[in-house]
Amino acid sequence: MIRLLRNISPAFRRAFIYGFTLRYEGVRGLDSSIELPTGSFLIALQFKKFKPEQTNILNRIWAFEINNNDRRDQHLKLLISAYLLGTNNVYYAFPLIDSSIIRRISPNFLNRTCFARIIDFPAQTFNNKTHLVYIQKPCRCIRIRSEKGVIKLLSAEELLDRVRKGIIKPLPVEELSKKRINKEELEDFLRKKDVNEWIIREFLSRNWRQMLKGFFF
């Protein structure tokens, strides 16, 4: 992706991937980002690994779990990250890659990876439960076993096209590092997203002090 991103514009020619620590991932829900040496952040990602026991590769159906960290709150942390960083800047990445074919397809992993905006997931998924999601090739949408409806997926090319069109915009890291969270505004955002009131209160009572210690960078 970095190679393709660098070809979009001279502004992105020195883009690089930044990997977060496990401790940071535990607080913010993110495991990597794409950044620019000019001091700008572009895209934040949470990668998921497919579940072999739930996947039917012959029928091209791939299964993944979301919100499967110990406290079952990663999904909500990612929603808050999207609120703070930009709803067009935070995504899940779902590689449709089985270990048996890694050597054969290397290094062409990108065309087998699908992306989904965190903000597009239904309110009922932002709770304290793990959710199983299904993706069928070609990447078009996600189905959540516990919910009705589908969520639109993006291919890598479609994600990069959002960068070309300015839908995904670079954000200054210096400003983000100084940004602080307003609790009332955050609660209002989560309510407008129809997140359950008990989930909001329980999550913030447990995580608010950590969130006040600083922002992302």
Grouping H, G, I as helix, E, B as strand and the rest as coil, residue 123 is: helix
pLDDT tens, 143-201? 888 777 789 999 999 999 999 999 999 999 888 877 778 899 999 999 999 999 999 99
> Is pLDDT at 29 greater than 90 in this prediction?
no
Assess contact for 124 and 79: CB atoms under 8 A: no
Q: How far apart are the first and last CA of the chain?
A: 22
Among 5-14, 127-136, 208-217, the minimum mean pLDDT is found in 208-217
pLDDT tens, 131-141? 999 998 777 88
Among 29, 30, 37, residue whose Cα is nearest residue 12 = 37
For residue 171, the tally of other CB atoms under 10 A from its CB is 19
- Calpha distance 170→56 (Å, rounded): 38
Among 144, 115, 121, residue whose Cα is nearest residue 194 = 121
- Calpha distance 83→104 (Å, rounded): 39
Peptide bond into 138 cis (omega under 30): yes
| Pairwise pLDDT comparison (99 vs 23), residue with the higher score | 23
Assess contact for 215 and 180: CB atoms under 8 A: yes
pLDDT score for 111: 78
Grouping H, G, I as helix, E, B as strand and the rest as coil, residue 138 is: coil
Domain ranges of the chain: 2-212
Look up residue 136 and give its amino acid: Q
> Is pLDDT at 57 greater than 80 in this prediction?
no
For the stretch 95-119, what's the b/e string if a residue is b when 16 or more beta carbons lie within 10 angstroms of its beta carbon?
bbbeeeeeeeeeeeebebbbbbbbe
Tokens 């930009």 belong to 86
- Calpha distance 189→185 (Å, rounded): 6
- Calpha distance 114→193 (Å, rounded): 24
pLDDT score for 140: 80
Q: Where are the alpha helices (DSSP H) in 29-121?
A: 74-85, 102-105
For the chain, list the strands marked E by DSSP: 16-19, 32-36, 40-47, 61-66, 90-95, 113-117, 131-136, 141-144, 150-152, 154-155, 171-172
For residue 65, the tally of other CB atoms under 10 A from its CB is 15
